[in-house]
Structure formats: structure tokens, C-alpha cells
Amino acid sequence: MELILASGSPRRSEILNMLTLRYRVQTSQVDEGELLRQMPQATPKELVQRLSSAKSQAVANQLETGLVLGADTIVVLEEHIYGKPVDEQDLRNMMWAFSGKTHQVLTGVTLTQAVGRHSVSLTAVTDVTFRTISEEEMEWYVAHAHYSDKAGGYAIQEHAALFVEGIQGCYYNVMGLPVQETLALFQLMGTSWQAFGS
């Protein structure tokens, strides 16, 4: 059986490669904005579960066989959800909000069988604490960061590592794919992740 990653995220691919899993990428065409508009009262956990499920099922619907892994990550601070920044000012606003505080990174992961469309989902939550960021550091970050495809405007394994004072929970969740939850999905689906090992 084939494993399909329903995400074009290089970080998710990097994590699957680290686990030596065989897979191919087939991105979903899910309109995240439209799904979010349909769920105005949803909790952050409900949102990431719904988005990861929609992505996984959208790709599974195009296939006859295989297991499809979908994921979605959001950043939450004081009940406000932070997606991907639209421009440099949006990035500054996000990073100032996180400065000197602890925020949560949530990732929903869903595994869907192409045959029968059976799905299982889990969500991981990691607390990330940023130290206080100076004006000079902020301008340096805005000038150097690759932020446009990252929830919350940062990648923990890149430039933002300078600001991370500590984390509580899964580091790989902050990158976009929580390892333990992802591996547990295979067991919940009645198979083993080792079956997809290279």
C-alpha cells in the first residue's frame, strides 16, 4: 500500500524523510479560508482537525488505493488564531504579539484510506515561549525570515530559534508534523508505520 502526503510543506516532507518512510506528495486543493468561514464558532482544535481531515479526504477521493496523510497547523495566543502572515507588517504584528509570551501551536493530523474513506485524526498541542524581542532584532528578523508559508510567521528550526526561550511538548509539532501522533494514526488505522519504511 502507498502512503500519500497531502501537503506540499517541505518541513512535513523533511520529518517523514527523517522517519525513513516511503511516500509521495499529492497536494490538496482545499480552500482553507472557505472552511474557516464555515466554522466561525469552532475551537482551534476543531479547526485543525477539520482542515487536516478535509485535506486528507480531498486527496483520498482522487485515489483508488493508499493511505493519505493530511495535516494543518495553527498558532494560538490568548484565543486569537494566527495563520500565515500576508505581508511584513502582519509578520511584525504577530511577532510582537508573541514577544515575551507563551503561545500554543496546534497541528491536526488525519490518515484516510482511499478505499472506504475511513479516517482517523489526532491533534497535538505544544506551548512555545518567546523571550522579549528588541526593535533591532525584529527588523533583522523581518529582513531575513522566510515567513509567507508558515503559521505564526516563523519556523522554529530557522531564524526564530533566536527568540525561543522554551517549549513544552513536541518540537516536531511546531515544525508542522507531530511525530508520535502521526505514528499513532497508523496503529489506529490497523496497520504499522514500519510497513511504509524504506
**What is the Cα–Cα distance from 150 to 159, expressed in whole angstroms?**
12
Q: Determine whether 87 is an active site residue.
A: no
Count other C-beta atoms under 10 Å from residue 73's C-beta. 28
The string of pLDDT tens digits covering residues 17-75 is: 999 999 999 999 888 778 778 888 889 999 999 999 999 999 999 999 999 999 999 99
Could you say which of 31, 72, 87, 149 is catalytic?
72
Output the pTM of the full model: 0.92
The string of pLDDT tens digits covering residues 92-140 is: 999 999 999 999 999 999 999 998 889 999 999 999 999 999 999 999 9
Q: What is the DSSP letter of 99?
A: T
DSSP string, 31-85: -HHHHHHH-TT--HHHHHHHHHHHHHHHHHTT-SS-EEEEEEEEEEETTEEE---
* All domains in the chain, ordered by first residue: 3-196 (3.90.950.10)
